[in-house]
Amino acid sequence: MIRIDSVTKRYPDGTVAVDRLSLEIPDRSITVLVGPSGCGKTTTLRMINRMIEPSEGTILLDGVDIQKQPVNTLRRSMGYVIQNAGLFQHRSIVDNIATVPRLLGWSKQRARERAAELMERVGLDSSLAKRYPYQLSGGQQQRVGVARALAADPPVLLMDEPFSAVDPVVRKGLQDELLRIQSELGKTIVFVTHDIDEAIKLGTMVAVMRTGGRLAQYAPPAELLTAPADAFVEDFLGADRGIRRLSFFPSGALELQTAPVVAQDADAAKIAARGSADVPYLLVTDLDGKPLGWGEPKDLKAGEITPERLLPYGRPFVHGSDSLRAALDGAVLSPTGWAVGVDDTGRVVGVVSQQTIGEAIRNAHAQGSGDDVRAAG
């Protein structure tokens, strides 16, 4: 565990970049430092690997003051990833990734094998190995940066705005990849960003910092969204925090109805039996159980049901693994106000009304925070 204990950084010109910061950074999880530009995030990160020395206070790694460790040993235990990847432009991708193993004296052969293994791990095609950084897209370069930082298998990864320079779609891919890598490798990651959505998506713990290098709040994301410590944090979280918080509640507790679901080949008696006063629409599925669309029972003529005549079914949610937010979104997008729940093969498992989702949301609010569910779709 990394423990930052009452650390202050005063630059020679008098700027207090970090002011008496204390944080306990748990092992094998992602801790995000987030806040507006200039609030001291990078300074904090760089004090962890001693690129910057604190003016006051101590930083402990597994209980040992990092000042008492040789700086080279310390840095070897910490991979470092920055924006735009910071790759060596005159070295091939494979040699970029092999940099630290080579410095550690690994043979060329072994270092390259390790690099190849890491390329696969971060989702880079092996055909890119011999290329140079300028021949890669921004997102690919960023993956190389992550692979390079992982090369000597350090227990800690320090990441400074690593995904800020790539477009939103690529960025989402990189974030998903990082979550996957973290869950596979169990690294302790300290991640700096100014983007609160990124912080909420990636962080197990999120430290919100304010200008002057002071900690505004340190909490799991669901707790930040539920109970911002003050107006600054609330403002920083943005307008739709109530909706975003629903990402932390699974949809599994929603009770789905199966009665309003009929297959395309249903006969007239079945259609008539399924329609009722409180179920104005029926969801029609194909013979495989995949959704086709909604229709009113009176409009559904047995033997003549075609998808073109049905109302769109909107965006289904995966019952269980998707969140209450996804279910709500499905219901809001549906012209009927009902959301379609599917299993992970896309087959319908039932439908749920906006009203039922609303009740589940009220229950979720009553439950308060403390949920440690990772934000789902």
Q: What minimum distance in Å lies between the beta carbon of 196 and ligand ADP?
A: 13
Return the residue of 4, 7, 17, 82 that touches ligand ADP, per CB under 6 A: 17
**Helix, strand or coil for residue 338?**
strand
CB of 54 to ligand ADP, least distance (A): 12
Site string for ligand ADP, 38-77 (x = CB under 6 A): xxxxxx----------------------------------
- Report the SS3 class of residue 74: helix
Torsion angles phi and psi, residue 293, rounded to 5: 160, 175
Q: What is the 3-state secondary structure of 189-231?
A: EEEEECCHHHHHHHCCEEEEEECCCEEEEEECHHHHHHCCCCH
In the bound state with ligand ADP, the residue whose beta carbon lies nearer, of 237 and 352, is 237
Least spacing, CB of residue 39 vs ligand ADP, in Å: 4
Q: Which is nearer to ligand ADP, 96 or 193 (CB)?
A: 193
Strands (E) located in 290-347: 291-295, 317-318, 338-342
Contacts 24+ apart (CB under 8 A), 284-288: 284/310, 285/261, 285/347, 285/348, 287/263, 288/347
Q: Are 162 and 81 in contact (CB under 8 A)?
A: yes
Is residue 11 near ligand ADP by the rule CB under 6 A?
Answer: yes
CB of 42 to ligand ADP, least distance (A): 3
Q: How far is the CB of 32 from ligand ADP (least distance, A)?
A: 12
Using the rule CB under 6 A, is 193 a contact of ligand ADP? no
Q: In whole angstroms, what separates CA 178 from the centre of its chain?
A: 8
- Quickly list DSSP for 113-147: HHHHHHHHHTT--GGGTTS-GGGS-HHHHHHHHHH
Number of chain residues interacting with ligand ADP (CB under 6 A): 12
Sheet holding 348-353, edge to edge: 317-318, 338-342, 348-353
Residue 208 found at the interface with ligand ADP (CB under 6 A):
no
Piece of 31-39, 79-87, 113-121, 133-141 that binds ligand ADP (CB under 6 A): 31-39
37 binds ligand ADP (CB under 6 A): yes
Beta-carbon neighbour count of residue 65 at 10 Å?
12
Q: How far is the CB of 208 from ligand ADP (least distance, A)?
A: 12
Query: Among 35-43, 57-65, 134-142, 310-318, which window interacts with ligand ADP (CB under 6 A)?
Result: 35-43
Which residues lie near ligand ADP (CB under 6 A)?
A: 11, 13, 15, 17, 35, 37-43
